[in-house]
Structure 1
Amino acid sequence: MRKRAIITSALPYANGEIHLGHVASTYLPADVTTRFLKMNDVEAYYICASDDFGTPIMIQSEKEKKTPQEYVAHWNKRDYDDFTAFDIAFDFFYRTSSQENIEFVRYVFNKLVKNGHIYKSEIIQFYCKNDNKFLPDRYVTGTCPYCKADDQYSDLCEKCGRVPEEIENPKCAICGALPVKEKTTHYFFKLKTFGDALYKWLDENQNLQKDVKKYVQNWITSGLVDWDITRDISWGVPVPGDESKVFYGWFDNHLAYISTAVKFLNDKGINGKEFWNSADIYHFIGKDIVYHHYLFLPAMRLGIDQEYKLPDFIPTRGHLTLQSKKISKSRNWYIGLKEFLEFYPADYLRFYLVSINPYSQDDLNFDWDDFAVRINSELIGNLGNLVNRALGFTKKTFDGEIPSPDDYDDKDKDAEAKIMGLASELSVLMNQNHLDRALKKIMEFSTYFNQYFQHKEPWKKGPGTNTCVFLSVNAVRSIAIALYPFLPKSSEKIWQQIGLSGTVSEKQWNEISKIAVNPSHKLGDITPVFAKIEEEDIKKRKEKFETK
């Protein structure tokens, strides 16, 4: 672990609201990781931006009688507001349409040209006579030539994750008509020439997921194809010397990771480029954009002589389904983040999504009934119960004042050892990005102290009562710190009820394993941290959701 880090997430497309599927695989894991790194004295910055360019935005802005600039400005603000409500704490949220990113994209292109990695070629492209326009990328759908999945985009098969050289059975995604082929001239990036260098980089980077590396290396072995990096539309970054064309979104958008981070750091008086190259670089993504982040992105950085270093970590997770069905905004089968947070606290969703989300490409499923059960039985029945009984008993029996412990028996010694070992046990899992396992470990710690409290029976006021209370309150303090990256608001509530000064966010990670609530310390006001989700409430949510 370096003492510097830049964390990014796949950029949200500025063309609609953020839903639960977006946050599950990328933004929430990135946020949890950033908070953890900062608690370990890492100078870490979480950087993001709205992805502003492309045909969908141009067409939708026309429909709404807005300029593309007005349209993306609306979604940039709305997305940031929704993320903030979910306690996603970006250090800087910018936009790919920023002047800084436009200039950087053109700079990278010119350097790639200078280094001999770009060529110009006349191609045949799909054209819709009905709509009178060339049909780039997601405006042509058809059958994937590799896995034969139907209804896939021409620039990405969501089934197998590959980028088709040419889609089969094409149709116009705007009107459904059969497109014709017309000549046009585009610029290409020589991706094929980077096969050996990419394979070597993947081989040597031990931080990348082995299963992802393996099939990306298989793609390389089976042969890469050069990459068409320009489009015949008006909304995008203009190509230097050929302003009638713009860059393909996947050429410019990931460069905003760099341009946004550099702007933010430079504005803080830090040398942004030097910081980037001396930091751990994390790109959190979903499995549908592996091809871009494991091939296109590193190849472009190699093509500019690694002026900006390649990523150290690309945590990749699966897709979220809802009630075991694929999320589809067009079919209205999704839950908007804003709507969800109108009914339940952000920490309930953060807890659930981390709990069900392994560090793998396996898909995960949001289920209303399972959500309610996990919140009620685990978050409330286990963790909330420990907080209430340890602090509540101390308030009632000792007037909120921590007693001096008696001599420790074997159970007490084991309990103290649990506290002393928690920080290091969690650190191993957090550094490996097994966030679900780390949260589970916190819950196991809470279960242990619930059982410890039950075994010691302090309500009988027998020998060892003082020690039980002393250690149980300190265990609650440990939980408050350990829980902060996952449930920031709830951890602060627990911290305040313990009556400790400052905030949890100011604490160092290693303080999890300190016995720091001393005898005579006075607790704050004790109230339940969480509220139960009623069965009738979930029934209403399900009915409303399924009739949307």
Structure 2
Amino acid sequence: MIFERKIWVITSALPYANGELHIGHIRSTYLPADIFTRFLKMKGFKAYHVCGTDEHGTPILARAIEEKKTPKEVVDYYHEIIKRALQRTHIAFDIFSRTTKPHHYKMTQEFYKRAKKAGYIYIKEIPILYCEHDNIALPDRLVKGNCPYCGAPNQYGDHCEVCGRTYSAFQLKNPRCVICGNPPVIKHSKHAFFALSEFTDRLEKWVKNKLKLTKGVKEHVLHWIREKLQDWDITRDINWGVPVPDIPNQVFYVWWDAPIGYVSFTKELFERIGEDWASVWIEGNGYIVHFIGKDIIYHHVLFWPAMLMANDFALPNEIRVRGFATLEGEKMSKSRGIYIGLEEFIRYWPAEYLRFYWGSTTPESLDDGDFSLREYRERINKMLIGEIGNFIHRVLTLIKRGNICEGNIDENLLKRALNLFNEYENKMISNQFNEAIECVILIARLGNKVLSETEPWRNLQTETSRKILITLFNFIRLISIALSPILPVSARKLREMLNIPPTENIAYNNVLNSLDRNFTLESIRRFITEVKKVKPLFRKITENEIKRLRSKLRL
């Protein structure tokens, strides 16, 4: 059983520190990882959400050159911007570190040395583009030219923003250095290569028999393996990155460096809190779950596990993958005005509305999800407010109005809610968060149906009315803990209203161990005494708010 593991390490793919986050960024990675970690903690498990900014690579170097800044100035700025945006969206990390920290450099170099000692690193001479004017090698983001496929001008040396095709920098037509505009020359350089092909059989067995992946992702990965894995060039001729110990004037390719952050950040965290990081990452006594977007499957399911194998480290137990986000059916683009920044959204509405929207509309699937303003307003107003919020407000208002503090519980009705709560838990542990949220909605929907059928407000003092409202009070208590991983702020406000302890794990045990008559009546009495007025948890989204934001988008 996976619950027997003592320590869970949940990772989110490292956000790249060269730009702000938009509303789609949290869909595939940060929100699902946050929901899952919060759920595990609520149930009392040692679970740690590990992440940080990825701060190396040629795009950062290119941005620094463009903005006439140092790469360090660029990553310092965007680390704080990204960290703040995620905090404001209630994404909780146990550590949010950086790949520019010295301990990360040390571990990245140690990974390389162990892999080389084991025979998985070799040196090979390759051609590179070089600017003789600036005396600098030109990796893909430091060279521009015409797309070799569609002819679009001013395209970088890795892919075309116009036609979407990928290619090598050597294929660009009329290439030029992004710094001075001069055409580059071809030179040769000795690079370190990681022998990924050596791990073909081990990776195939692991993917087939041990790693927890969705069927669609597994089919993609096995197809890549059958097509034969290629060795990876893992060093670059630039000066921004983790230095290669035995090759002067080179740094590691960002995809050798970045995933090691999962380990170095865990080590940093565990040394601070007194846990044993090696027990998880080397001895395999923990349970490791990666949350990623579909664009980095190859890196996480093949390249990164091979790096771990080369170092005799533990492999991840699950890799959870979700698709991209579009905006009103269009790919998000700041330059085209089809874009909503994460912090911009929070200036309009509570961050929990975005959490509810993506949480309830995002299955664990490679399919992309669309942020539609019309559907967003409808889902918040009709589901979150119209079903969940309305149910909570109706029941609590009736209990307070009727001073309902004596009566019995309808055990059969409560059992139906508990069955839905158990289904919620099953969906949560299997990463089907959209279906888990549907279970919460169904609890509220069942409660609303019972209210409509019994109409307790007609006479609040009958035995039937009291029994219904006392039972539905327990529905709300279940909802207050079920919503904790999804809407942590609103769930805490609701628990405060119900006199349930604010700490999630204590609240979870408190509610599930106190659904009997005596505990329930005691909770109701305290609620009636201490809550002066029942206030709605949520406010509706207005049509004017939608129009105001839509007017800013070029749709």
Give TM-score, length-normalised by structure 2.
Answer: 0.90
- Contact 1:21 / 1:321 at 8 angstroms: preserved in 2? yes
Please report how far the alpha carbon of residue 270 of structure 1 lies from its aligned counterpart in structure 2 after TM superposition: 1.7
Match of residue 472 from structure 2: 472
Please report how far the alpha carbon of residue 177 of structure 1 lies from its aligned counterpart in structure 2 after TM superposition: 8.4
Q: Does 1:362 align with 2:367?
A: yes
Number of residue pairs the alignment of both structures matches = 537
- Contact 2:325 / 2:371 at 8 angstroms: preserved in 1? yes
- Contact 2:177 / 2:184 at 8 angstroms: preserved in 1? no
> What's the secondary structure of 2:489's corresponding residue?
helix
Aligned pairs (5 A) from 1:43-442: 43-127=46-130, 133-139=136-142, 168-169=171-172, 174=178, 181-276=186-281, 277-304=284-311, 306=312, 308-398=313-403, 401-405=404-408, 412-442=410-440
Give TM-score, length-normalised by structure 1.
Answer: 0.91
Cα distance in structure 2, aligned partners of 1:457 and 1:101: 63
Aligned pairs (5 A) from 1:442-521: 442-461=440-459, 462-504=462-504, 506-508=506-508, 511-512=511-512, 515=515, 518-520=520-522, 521=525
| Unaligned stretches of 5+ residues in structure 1 | none
Cα distance in structure 2, aligned partners of 1:157 and 1:240: 34
Cα distance in structure 2, aligned partners of 1:279 and 1:157: 42
Cα distance in structure 1, aligned partners of 2:170 and 2:324: 23
Cα distance in structure 2, aligned partners of 1:484 and 1:477: 11
Cα distance in structure 2, aligned partners of 1:254 and 1:83: 20
Cα distance in structure 2, aligned partners of 1:442 and 1:429: 11
> What's the secondary structure of 2:289's corresponding residue?
strand
Query: What amino acid does structure 2 have at the position aligned with 1:500?
Result: I
Cα distance in structure 1, aligned partners of 2:185 and 2:54: 29
Query: What amino acid does structure 1 have at the position aligned with 2:308?
Result: R
Cα distance in structure 1, aligned partners of 2:176 and 2:214: 37
Please report how far the alpha carbon of residue 53 of structure 1 lies from its aligned counterpart in structure 2 after TM superposition: 0.7
- Contact 1:321 / 1:364 at 8 angstroms: preserved in 2? yes
Compared CA separation, residues 126 and 41, structure 1 to 2 (3 A): same
Cα distance in structure 2, aligned partners of 1:80 and 1:13: 11
Compared CA separation, residues 208 and 514, structure 1 to 2 (3 A): farther
> What's the secondary structure of 2:47's corresponding residue?
strand
In angstroms, what is the RMSD of aligned CA positions?
A: 3.0
Match of residue 526 from structure 1: 534
Query: What amino acid does structure 2 have at the position aligned with 1:298?
Result: P
Cα distance in structure 2, aligned partners of 1:164 and 1:221: 22
Cα distance in structure 2, aligned partners of 1:355 and 1:13: 26
Match of residue 22 from structure 2: 19
Cα distance in structure 2, aligned partners of 1:49 and 1:543: 35
Cα distance in structure 2, aligned partners of 1:287 and 1:339: 25
- Contact 1:6 / 1:281 at 8 angstroms: preserved in 2? yes
- Contact 2:421 / 2:440 at 8 angstroms: preserved in 1? no
Query: What amino acid does structure 2 have at the position aligned with 1:294?
Result: V
Compared CA separation, residues 497 and 546, structure 1 to 2 (3 A): farther
Please report how far the alpha carbon of residue 166 of structure 1 lies from its aligned counterpart in structure 2 after TM superposition: 7.9
Compared CA separation, residues 210 and 154, structure 1 to 2 (3 A): farther
- Contact 1:491 / 1:504 at 8 angstroms: preserved in 2? no
Cα distance in structure 1, aligned partners of 2:84 and 2:121: 39
Please report how far the alpha carbon of residue 167 of structure 1 lies from its aligned counterpart in structure 2 after TM superposition: 7.4
- Contact 2:95 / 2:269 at 8 angstroms: preserved in 1? yes
- Alignment match of 1:543 (pick from 512, 530, 551): 551
Please report how far the alpha carbon of residue 195 of structure 1 lies from its aligned counterpart in structure 2 after TM superposition: 0.8
Compared CA separation, residues 477 and 158, structure 1 to 2 (3 A): farther
Please report how far the alpha carbon of residue 92 of structure 1 lies from its aligned counterpart in structure 2 after TM superposition: 0.5
Deviations 1:86-123 (A, max 9, x none): 10010011000111110000011111111111111111
Query: What amino acid does structure 2 have at the position aligned with 1:287?
Result: K
- Contact 1:36 / 1:509 at 8 angstroms: preserved in 2? no
Please report how far the alpha carbon of residue 522 of structure 1 lies from its aligned counterpart in structure 2 after TM superposition: 2.4
Compared CA separation, residues 229 and 392, structure 1 to 2 (3 A): same
- Contact 1:421 / 1:513 at 8 angstroms: preserved in 2? no
Please report how far the alpha carbon of residue 397 of structure 1 lies from its aligned counterpart in structure 2 after TM superposition: 1.5
Deviations 1:53-78 (A, max 9, x none): 11222232344443322321221122
Match of residue 33 from structure 2: 30
Cα distance in structure 2, aligned partners of 1:149 and 1:205: 45
Compared CA separation, residues 206 and 185, structure 1 to 2 (3 A): closer
Deviations 1:335-384 (A, max 9, x none): 11111111110111100011111101000000111111110011110001
Compared CA separation, residues 470 and 157, structure 1 to 2 (3 A): farther
> What's the secondary structure of 2:388's corresponding residue?
helix
Compared CA separation, residues 509 and 10, structure 1 to 2 (3 A): farther
> What's the secondary structure of 1:66's corresponding residue?
coil
Please report how far the alpha carbon of residue 498 of structure 1 lies from its aligned counterpart in structure 2 after TM superposition: 1.9
